[in-house]
Amino acid sequence: MASINLIEAFRDFKEAENIDRPTMMKVIEDVFKTLLRKKYGTDENFDVIVNAEKGDLEIIRRRLIVEDDQLKDPMREIAYSEAIKIEPDFEVGEELYQEIDLKDFGRRAILAAKQTLAGRISDIKKNALFRKYTDRIGEIVSAEVYQVWKKEILLLDEEGNELILPKSEQIPQDHFKKGETIRAVVKRVDMKNNTPVIILSRTSPEFLAKLLEIEVPEIFDGLIVVKKIVREPGERAKVAVESYDDRIDPVGACVGMKGSRIHGIVRELRNENIDVISWTNNIQLLIQRALTPAKITSMELDHENKHANVYLKPDQISLAIGKRGVNIKLACELTGYNIDVYRDNEGEEEFDIDLDEFSDEIDGWVIDELKRIGCDTARSVLDLTPEELERRTDLEKETIAEVRKILKAEFEKD
Model confidence over 176-185: pLDDT tens digits? Answer: 999 999 999 9
Domain residues for 404?
355-412
Same domain, 118 and 16: yes
Query: Is residue 348, in this structure, part of any structural domain at all?
Result: no
Same domain, 122 and 144: no
Same domain, 156 and 109: no
Is the pLDDT assigned to residue 1 strictly greater than 70? no
Mean pLDDT on 216-226: 94
Q: Give the chain's length.
A: 414
Question: Taking the complete model, does pTM exceed 0.85, yes or no?
Answer: no
Given this model, what pLDDT does residue 116 score? 79
User: Domain of 261: which CATH number?
Assistant: 3.30.300.20
Same domain, 179 and 293: no
Same domain, 65 and 185: no
Domain count of the chain? 4
The band of 13, judged by pLDDT with boundaries at 50, 70 and 90, is low
Is the pLDDT assigned to residue 251 strictly greater than 90? yes
User: Could you say which of 106, 131, 156 is where a domain stops?
Assistant: 131
Query: Is residue 374, in this structure, part of any structural domain at all?
Result: yes
Given this model, what pLDDT does residue 72 score? 84
Tell me: the pLDDT tens digits for 26-85? 777 788 888 888 878 888 888 887 765 655 677 888 888 888 888 888 888 888 888 888
Same domain, 22 and 116: yes
Same domain, 289 and 338: yes
Same domain, 389 and 408: yes
Same domain, 374 and 321: no
